[in-house]
Chains A and B, each alone.
Chain A
Amino acid sequence: MGIVSRGFFGRRREEDVKLPPGQYLTHDFPVLSAGPTPRIGLDRWEFAIDTELGETHRWSWPELLALPSETPTVDLHCVTKWSKLGTGWQGVSLDVLMENVETGAEYALAYSYGGYTTNLPLEDLLDGKAWIAYKYDGDDLEPRHGGPARLLVPHLYLWKSAKWVRGIRLMNEDWPGFWETAGYHNYGDPWREQRYQGD
């Protein structure tokens, strides 16, 4: 327990929910991005998976929509302290996209329109843990929240859920992404409060 601040009692959460350490509940959907919101035309949009063997698998927008989709309801935890519970998405599981991808890689680097990158172990993208999401709350995903499509990896802090995702590079070695080279934690598990390097 930290030092007690005189006169602070705090507002107990009305909802009886368990949040990761240091998080507070919000009902809004705040936006955090390092730069301007890129606008990507759907006719030019594509998603790619590049393997460590030099192969590239590509999907156009119609091809992505034609794949079987799921509608996960998940909790979001942002490193800036807010958590939003029970958010509803629609998207394609990475398990579906990876089905015919041959790889022995252990690491993945998601890259986005606009230049953003974020890294995570490949296993964190598989087994029902990650999606390429294109609908939020029943509507097309807004550009400010990462539309037309974003990576959704809700068990890690939200910066790992790359907005405006353009592809995923599979690699034998870990390659730190944008925030991971700017002082944030390499893995980012909210339940272990891995916010910053060294946490």
Chain B
Amino acid sequence: MPRLPWRVAKLVEIRQETATARTLVFQIPGWPGHLAGQHVDVRLTAPDGYSTERSYSVAAPEQGDRVELTVELVPDGEVSPYLLEILEVGDEVEIRGPVGGWFVWRPDHTTPVLLVAGGSGVVPLMAMIRARRAAGSSAPFRLIYSVREPDQRFYLDELANPDPGLDIAYLFTRKTPDGWARPPGRITQADLTGASTDIDSYVCGPTGFVEAAADHLIALGHAPDRIRTERFGPTGG
């Protein structure tokens, strides 16, 4: 198998998602395509040759040579402040991928799916939701999306009118919208009940969130080998 090459990626579109996150749409000539849930490596190089790399999940399914990433600011990070505050339309970085053949959803899967997102862990799960829509799939999807506060939700407008067969529940850990029934708090077993256990689950978020959510699912009778996880720590730059 040939080496995955670094390709030049030109930024063609920016969408602000929250005060600290934005979606970056790159055009990458020769892009081989990808599956929802996969990630890419981004490489930045300075004029003196210094370079550094980070991995980011892709936020949308394959669409020709366009690759969308949603990047959240990591305070004190080396790469995300550049991607969020300096990079402009027309600028170039290098990207290689796609990477990861496990945390993926394929459009021909008809099994019901539970997506559990903590914070920016929603990014690869949004790629799955968009892949489902693009394929016209009727596989039942449920998204449980936990954020600290209402204004930290990504893709708010798009998720406000969910596709048929896509059910969305928000959890707020620190502050809820006015009149919200569930008090603010971390994800509990009760937040995950109601679904059949005959489903495939994808859980993505910070380590503590993923550990808790996966443990709850197992306690509810979900088979461990049907729970796919992707974790990220406080670093990631």
Q: Determine the chain A residues whose CB is within 8 A of the CB of B218 once the complex forms.
A: 36
Q: Which residue of A lies closest to B104 (CB)?
A: A182
Interface residues of B in 3-48 (CB under 8 A from A): 3-4, 6, 8, 41, 43-47
Please, how many angstroms separate the alpha-carbon atoms of A142 and B66 in the complex?
Answer: 41
Q: Which of B142-150, B178-186, B228-236 touches A?
A: B228-236
Q: Which of A4-12, A95-103, A125-133, A147-155 touches B?
A: A4-12
Contact status B91-A7, CB under 8 Å? yes
Q: Determine the chain A residues whose CB is within 8 A of the CB of B224 once the complex forms.
A: 35-36, 38, 114-115
Task: Select one of B93, B217, B228, B232 contacting A5, CB under 8 A.
Answer: B93
Q: Determine the chain A residues whose CB is within 8 A of the CB of B4 once the complex forms.
A: 196, 198-199
Q: Which of A23-31, A45-53, A86-94, A166-174 touches B?
A: A23-31
Q: Which residue of A lies closest to B76 (CB)?
A: A11
Task: Select one of B8, B99, B207, B215 contacting A31, CB under 8 A.
Answer: B207
Query: How many residues of A sit at the interface, in one of the four size bands?
Result: 35 or more
Number of chain B residues close to chain A: CB under 8 A: 50
* B8, B46, B82 interface centre (most CB from chain A within 10 Å): B46
Please, how many angstroms separate the alpha-carbon atoms of A183 and B54 in the complex?
Answer: 18
B169 within 8 A of A: no
Contact status A34-B228, CB under 8 Å? yes
B55 within 8 A of A: yes
Interface residues of A in 110-131 (CB under 8 A from B): 114-115
Please, how many angstroms separate the alpha-carbon atoms of A137 and B94 in the complex?
Answer: 37
Q: Which residue of B lies closest to A84 (CB)?
A: B235
Please, how many angstroms separate the alpha-carbon atoms of A197 and B96 in the complex?
Answer: 13
Please, how many angstroms separate the alpha-carbon atoms of A104 and B168 in the complex?
Answer: 56
* A81, A181, A198 interface centre (most CB from chain B within 10 Å): A81
Contact A80 B78, CB 8 Å, known A8-B86, A114-B224, A183-B101: no
B92 within 8 A of A: yes
Contact status A36-B51, CB under 8 Å? no
Q: Separation in Å of the B114 CB from the closest CB of chain A?
A: 13
Q: Determine the chain B residues whose CB is within 8 A of the CB of A196 once the complex forms.
A: 3-4, 99
A33 within 8 A of B: yes
**CB within 8 Å of A: which residues of B?**
1-4, 6, 8, 41, 43-47, 49-55, 78, 82, 86-87, 91-94, 99-103, 207, 211, 214-215, 217-218, 224-225, 227-229, 231-237
